[in-house]
Structure 1
Amino acid sequence: MGRSAKYEFIGDERVRRQTLRKRKAGLFKKVSELKTLCCVDACAVMYGNTGVQPDVWPSPFEAYNLFQRFNNLPIIKRETNMMNQEKFIRQNILKVSKKLEKEKKKNRWVEVEQLVAKNLVEHNLHDVSNLEDLKDVAYLLDENIKLVNEVQNIKRAGNENGTGSKRGKKK
């Protein structure tokens, strides 16, 4: 991941203008690289705090034409991949929530597997008193039985077709 940096207002006017000039050049360079490497139409418009004239890359004419092309698109196409901050945050929250649920399920199955292993070692499943735990243990055992049966069926089918293991057979 990138470096984490604290972003805060630059109090010194001279340093702030110098930083803006450097970052603006970097931003315009990135847009230029994006345009060249990905073969896309791109422009950048940046208003400074002076409010006089915006800085435009590559040229005001090209930027105007690109904005006109964008505005002439039907609204549905225009807003297809458009995202504001609220939509972006909601999308990220949804993604993280799904990931959290997946991890919770994964952790639950690890707990159930540990419970089964512990009780098998102790030869005692009577300690499992929670109904949810019992249901989960039963489900886990059913899934494992299905898996074992599938493996056996595949091996049986391989042996019947003559494609079974040839280990130990001499020619």
Structure 2
Amino acid sequence: MPRNKVKFALIENENDRKLSYKKREKGFLTKAEELRTLCDVEMAAILYSPFNNEPKVFPNHGAAITTFEKLVELPTLKKSKNMVTSDEFTKKRIEKLNDKLLKVRKKNKVKEVTNEMYEMLKCKEISIDMHPYDLNDLSYVIKQKLIQCLQQQRILPFL
């Protein structure tokens, strides 16, 4: 049975909020234990909440202090090696999405020109106001299709 989608907002009812916190805290600590065991990583977590008098420390107080001391003693270069600010992350994400967009636009342009080529083969006339770049793209697609066709018929095996 699928779970309902959770709307991320403050739970107004104090008892519901506490119940939700306890469930999620238990799930978080379970996942942390699994990650530590399965991947053999050293990790520590400190959970502060208004529902407990003392903070919860994972896996235990001594191990958490040792882990945090090791983190503090790391050279700055190693500490910041995999850290990314939100601005850097956003810029990288925008670059990736722009690259994806460019590839999709290129694919669409090729499909568009290919359709135009097939329309021409059905004796449709070329529009008079066609841009020279579009004509150039059309000639490229026609050339590629001819090469592909000739290679399939083994007339031009080395192209």
The unaligned stretches of length 5 or more in structure 2 are: none
| Structure 1 residues 118 and 128, CA gap change in structure 2 (3 angstroms) | farther
Instruction: Please tell me the residue identity of whatever aligns with 1:53.
Output: E
| Structure 1 residues 100 and 3, CA gap change in structure 2 (3 angstroms) | farther
Question: Given the alignment of the two structures, is residue 34 of structure 1 paired with residue 38 of structure 2, yes or no?
Answer: no
| Structure 1 residues 62 and 76, CA gap change in structure 2 (3 angstroms) | same
Please give the alpha-carbon distance, in whole angstroms, between the structure 2 residues aligned to 1:49 and 1:78.
31
- More deviation in 38-47 or 125-134? 125-134
- For residue 150 of structure 1, report the CA deviation from its aligned partner: 6.0
- For residue 13 of structure 1, report the CA deviation from its aligned partner: 1.4
Q: Deviations over 1:36-63 (max 9, x none)?
A: 1112112222121368532111012111
Residue in structure 1 matched with residue 135 of structure 2 by the alignment: 134
Moved over 6 A (4+): none
- More deviation in 65-74 or 85-94? 85-94
Q: How high is the TM-score relative to the length of structure 1?
A: 0.75
State how many pairs are aligned. Answer: 155
Residue in structure 1 matched with residue 45 of structure 2 by the alignment: 44
Please give the alpha-carbon distance, in whole angstroms, between the structure 2 residues aligned to 1:108 and 1:32.
51
Query: Is this contact kept in 1: 2:147–2:156, CA < 8 A?
Result: no
Q: How high is the TM-score relative to the length of structure 2?
A: 0.80
Please give the alpha-carbon distance, in whole angstroms, between the structure 1 residues aligned to 2:41 and 2:155.
54
Please give the alpha-carbon distance, in whole angstroms, between the structure 2 residues aligned to 1:94 and 1:116.
33
Q: Whose RCO is larger (CA < 8 A, sep 6+)? A: 2
| Structure 1 residues 45 and 150, CA gap change in structure 2 (3 angstroms) | farther
| Structure 1 residues 57 and 99, CA gap change in structure 2 (3 angstroms) | same
